[in-house]
Amino acid sequence: NASVSILTYSSVGNKLAGKIKDGSISNDFIRPVSLKYYMMAEELGDRTYSMIFTFLPVCIVAAFMVPFRIPSSFLVGGLFLISLLLGIILIYYINYTLGLLAFWFKNSIYVNWFLGAFFTLFGGTAVPLWFYPDFLKNIAYILPFRYVSYEPISIFLEKVDLENALIIILAQLIWILTFALLESFVWNKAQKVITIQGG
């Protein structure tokens, strides 16, 4: 759980909001690459660093201290890795889209507040969703936050069968597409805000 949380952590929303707040984002507009993909590459670099120097050492130490569970088959392991990758992409898009809202709010505090509150309550990482009362569980199941780390972990622990694992991956793809479209819409609106402020 902790290792997956390390890999699915994202700070791109705060970074983007900070760039907007201090005005340094103007330098990014003249780069020969898309800001979104530039920050995505930077984020993947951070996650790769975390995987090599944090995730792997934790796994090695844990293997000597406690029984280390591995997937029962290559299929389960493959589905877990696909779902984990999609979870990383999904949290990036959620963060990036929220970061773009700083064009209007001129602040980055809301990114930490929103993501912290909603992931803690509806992400299923602090408290597994099966412990929730029905009304909270129903809310969590219509929001995207559980697809970042809770569902990949469920696949790894084989809490779901093959059919449901494929449904989870499909749902992740749908949420990624949804946020990609939302991000594109917000970005187009933000460019108009930049034009207005710039005269």
More confident position, 133 or 196:
133
Distant-in-sequence, close-in-space partners of 76: CB < 8 Å, separation ≥ 6: 155, 156, 158, 165
Q: What is the pTM of this model?
A: 0.81
Write out pLDDT tens, residues 106-133: 666 667 677 777 887 888 777 777 778 8
Write out pLDDT tens, residues 20-41: 777 777 777 677 777 788 888 8
Residue 142 has pLDDT above 70, yes or no: yes
More confident position, 103 or 198:
103
CB 15 within 8 A of CB 38: no
CB 100 within 8 A of CB 186: yes
CA distances from 157 to 48, 160, 191 (A): 23, 8, 44
Q: Which of 40, 84, 16, 85 is nearest to 180 (CA)?
A: 40
H or E element that contains 172? helix 162-197
Q: Which of 78, 68, 80 is nearest to 159 (CA)?
A: 80
Burial pattern 159-183, b for ≥16 Cβ within 10 A else e, equals ebeeeebeebbebbeebbeebbeeb
**Residue 3 banded pLDDT, cuts 50, 70, 90:** low
The DSSP code for 92 is: H
Instruction: Summarize the confidence of residues 59-81 as an average pLDDT.
Output: 80
H-type helices in 66-161, by residue range?
A: 74-100, 102-105, 109-122, 134-142, 150-156
What pLDDT does residue 194 have?
62
What pLDDT does residue 177 have?
96
What pLDDT does residue 193 have?
66
CB 156 within 8 A of CB 71: yes
**Residue 104 banded pLDDT, cuts 50, 70, 90:** confident
